[in-house]
Amino acid sequence: MLLLDTSALIDLERELAYRNVGPIRAYLGRHKGEELSCSTVTVGELASGGSQAAVQVLLRHLRKLPISEAIAYRAGELDKKQMRKGQRLGENDNWIAATALHYSATLVYTDGDLDRIDGIKRARLHNSGSP
């Protein structure tokens, strides 16, 4: 399963708008058989920048992974670990990383904030930017 971070979905939206096959669309094309998902935290992040209708269209083919008690404990452990290293994540990134760890999903992202999480399957793609 691929867990698309907010940063990857924003870049995907940009690539679709410009009809450009950039890093996100190319990566997804190489992983066609894999289930696509996002955290409900990502739904909230996207909703803060766009309309509910636009977010629903972008996410229509993705499985939305809810926050559970098990993910909450994983997020707490992850936060403690990062605090000991002096490298805390932002709150939302912490929840998204914990979700990826819980589901053993590959986290697909474009910003560097999630690089410092140990033990996570990841695919960091370079930001596609404008055409």
Q: Residue ranges per domain, the chain?
A: 2-124
For residue 17, pLDDT beyond 70? yes
Least Cα distance to 5 among 124, 107, 128, 113 occurs for 107
Strand order in the sheet with 63-65: 63-65, 36-39, 2-4, 106-109, 121-124
Question: CB–CB of 92/102 below 8 Å?
Answer: no
Model confidence pLDDT, tens digit, residues 50-88: 999 999 999 999 999 999 999 999 999 999 999 999 999
33 φ/ψ angles, rounded to the nearest 5 degrees = -80, -5
Mean pLDDT, residues 110-130:
85
Q: What CATH number belongs to 2-124?
A: 3.40.50.1010
Rounded to two decimals, what is the model's pTM? 0.93
Q: Assign residue 36 a region (left: φ > 0; alpha: ψ between -120 and 50; beta: otherwise).
A: beta
- DSSP letters, 52-69, are HHHHHHHTTTSEEE---H
**Which pLDDT band, with edges at 50, 70 and 90, does 127 fall under?**
confident
